[in-house]
Chain A
């Protein structure tokens, strides 16, 4: 099986890191993985996105037109990628920043208040991890122990104290992921 995930948001929301954690976790899980960033001439405050592929076979194209899942952390990202989700796929959106819900009915749409939950945890920077938790809950892409291993690898030595709040954010995201 091949699962493609596009993660998108404002620059600074941590979509690149979120993607790297998922890719790293996939690798730890023994899957074939790739991570590909958008690297266009984006302005500050503009949108950024990355594509992560977790597969059983070697990854072919690292970019896809119709991913299995999209995680949209802001409104422009939802506008750009809602129509791209493959029928039967998954769309996670950040309802803290997106007031008008998606309209697709042929995919699993999951709302998660990523910023609000991150705020409650005392660090709005972990909103990306809340959204990642929601994705993991809905898709079963990789087991939690692989995510923990990936976080330990991805966090630099002087940021290891952030592990607990990141894990808490993922847990809260998992709990919050309800299919309406």
Chain B
């Protein structure tokens, strides 16, 4: 399939996973991501894959653990409250070093919240969510073509690092339609899954998938090994996109669908001659500290825009490290900022720096 097709975000993500070789999907319904499992339920049988609607989110994530342990390419998806239920299993996946792709089409929270778009799950995605010293690779697409490409890559990254990868979207990206193309991306050289529990006919020694290490020195050694792996991910996987940052006085920092709304604001501010740029983290963990800190000496101030009460702004402040003011503008609870709101906030910040 290489022609451009108009698809819903949720469906495009599902198709991208199938094309990336995902053959197992375990999920439990929740708005606004239901089209994803629905699409999987239709497509998986066509590719001799397995779609299973589990009895709960907890069951679904542990089925992911099982399939990943056996070396399969496996995915689950949910939205905020459902992802909260999956946190225990995600921590187990990280502890047992299992590759899997998890999709969170975020809705308003806390609690059951609303079904409208939100970015209130940033902290949960990048700072843990589950227990223990673990990290997920967190990818945040801003349009559907990027979602398709990142999902394709997510399976490779998961296999490469033996680590769960989280695709962080929101209701806007899940529900909207845009043209997408399922193109072949350059694939990475991936290590064979010699650790997978495929039976002793396939490997000479016992393979054990486990996250329980009762002996303290042994667990510390395992955690240090994980930290070394996260350091490698931090070194190689930071990714961001910049727009009009070269001569910008104020740079907006935004990710996902907020970034595309901010882009409309930047384009209209530029038309009025204002020197405004956009910095868009594509990886939320590792946070693109390197490229963001390069901007610090050139810029007078930053404005972080999010659909939450201020979460990524903490990572922006860490990267800027007090060298420049970091402002924040956020909408919550399913309210989506308009380009006009972002523009006027930007003008206010610009007024302060002149």
Contacts and interface: CB of A to CB of B under 8 A. Distances in A.
A58 B143 contact: yes
Interface stretch (A5-13, A20-28, A128-136): A20-28
Between A27, A35, A39, the greatest number of chain B beta carbons within 10 A of the residue's beta carbon is seen for A39
Contacts of B338: 61, 64-65
A141 B267 CA distance: 23
Interface string B306-350: 000000000000000000000000000000101110000000000
Give 9 nearest A-B pairs by CB, closest first.
Answer: A60-B264, A35-B177, A61-B261, A36-B176, A27-B179, A60-B263, A62-B176, A61-B264, A24-B6
B175 A39 contact: yes
A60 B177 contact: no
Contacts, number: 61
A27 B31 contact: no
B32 interface: yes
Contact of B177 (A23, A40, A61, A63): A23
A165 B264 CA distance: 39
A59 interface: yes
Interface residues of A, number: 22
B256 interface: no
Contacts of B339: 60-61
B4 A27 contact: yes
Contacts of B260: 59-62
A74 B336 CA distance: 26
B6 A39 contact: no
A112 interface: no
Contact of B178 (A33, A57, A153): A33
B178 A39 contact: no
Given A23-B6, A23-B177, A63-B336, A39 B115 contact: yes
Interface string B253-274: 0000100110111010000000
Contacts of A63: 172, 336
Contacts of B4: 27
B197 interface: no
Nearest to A154: B6
A102 interface: no
A5 B179 CA distance: 17
Contact of B116 (A20, A40, A64): A40
A37 interface: yes
B171 interface: yes
Given A60-B260, A60-B263, A64-B338, 12 more contacts: A23-B177, A33-B179, A36-B172, A39-B31, A39-B115, A39-B171, A39-B175, A60-B264, A61-B339, A62-B260, A63-B336, A65-B338
